Copies of this chain bind each other. A is one copy, B any other.
Amino acid sequence: MSLTPTKMRSIIEGLLYLTGEEGLLLDQIAKVFPDAPEPSIREILEKMKRDYEENEASGLMIVEIAGGWRLVTKPFMATYAEQFAAIPKMTPLSQASLETVAIIAYRQPISRMEIEEVRGVKSEKALHTLMAKGLIKEVGRAEGIGRPILYGITPVFLDYFGLRSLEDLPPLSEAVKDPGERPDEVDLLYNRYKETVKEWSDDNAEQATGEAK
């Protein structure tokens, strides 16, 4: 016996409620309806999403984040949810962490040194924070001297920024013209500059650590 779309809608709604923040993957739903074709399930979800959105009498809406469907409260509810909770909000990421995670997202796998080249400053603390929040992870080591750790983003990254997939990332503005065709001298100067920075900042870091003691 196959289920009517109305019945299916009610079941999906129930499952969305039960799974809450964990979310529901399309193929998990499909397993509950072995006879229903996946497109029809997606159709019901999309319809449900629209219905919730348009329904002014409802404080809920459906979002698709990182491939999972979730029932969440509408943005306007945040005030009430927070007022109700009377707890300080989650602290957003610092500018340094945002820049760092952006570089990682667009350029992964990438080493700490490469990140610091782009930012022009040390980024250890930002990496630390991002690791602790589970937004990035070590994805391997580069070839070459020191075999530096390479970083990449995690699925939590998508969740944290509410993205469906990496394709949802805001487009990066157009690359600088012919970045590969820099004259050699520039690279040399650039490398020398980098090294100076490195020495300098290592010295400085040591000093700072020394002072802290």
Footprint of B on A, CB under 8 Å?
6-7, 9-15, 17-18, 20, 22, 25, 28, 31-32, 56-60, 71-74, 77, 80-81, 83-84, 87-88, 90-91, 95, 128-129, 131-134, 170-173, 175, 179-180, 182-183
- Contact between chains at A59 and B14 (CB < 8 Å): yes
Query: Given the complex, which residues of B lie within 8 Å of A6, measured CB to CB?
Result: 56-57
Copy total for this chain? 2
Among B58, B84, B175, contact of A15 (Cβ-Cβ < 8 Å): B84
Among B17, B77, B84, B182, contact of A71 (Cβ-Cβ < 8 Å): B17
CB distance from A7 to the nearest CB of B (A): 8
- Contact between chains at A81 and B128 (CB < 8 Å): no
Query: Given the complex, which residues of B lie within 8 Å of A132, measured CB to CB?
Result: 170-173
**Given the interface contacts A10-B56, A87-B31, does A17 sit within 8 Å of B17 by beta carbon?**
yes
- CA–CA, A95 to B84, complex, Å? 25
Query: Which residue on B lies nearest to A12, using beta carbons?
Result: B59
- Contact between chains at B87 and A28 (CB < 8 Å): yes
Query: Which residue on B lies nearest to A21, using beta carbons?
Result: B95
CB distance from A78 to the nearest CB of B (A): 10
Among B14, B22, B81, contact of A60 (Cβ-Cβ < 8 Å): B14
Query: Which residue on B lies nearest to A79, using beta carbons?
Result: B11
**Given the interface contacts A175-B90, A182-B88, does A80 sit within 8 Å of B129 by beta carbon?**
no
Query: Given the complex, which residues of B lie within 8 Å of A88, measured CB to CB?
Result: 180, 182
- CA–CA, A84 to B30, complex, Å? 10
- Contact between chains at B180 and A15 (CB < 8 Å): no
- CA–CA, A91 to B13, complex, Å? 22
Query: Given the complex, which residues of B lie within 8 Å of A28, measured CB to CB?
Result: 84, 87
Query: Which residue on B lies nearest to A138, using beta carbons?
Result: B170
- Contact between chains at A84 and B32 (CB < 8 Å): yes
- CA–CA, A180 to B12, complex, Å? 35
- CA–CA, A72 to B25, complex, Å? 21
- CA–CA, A25 to B90, complex, Å? 10
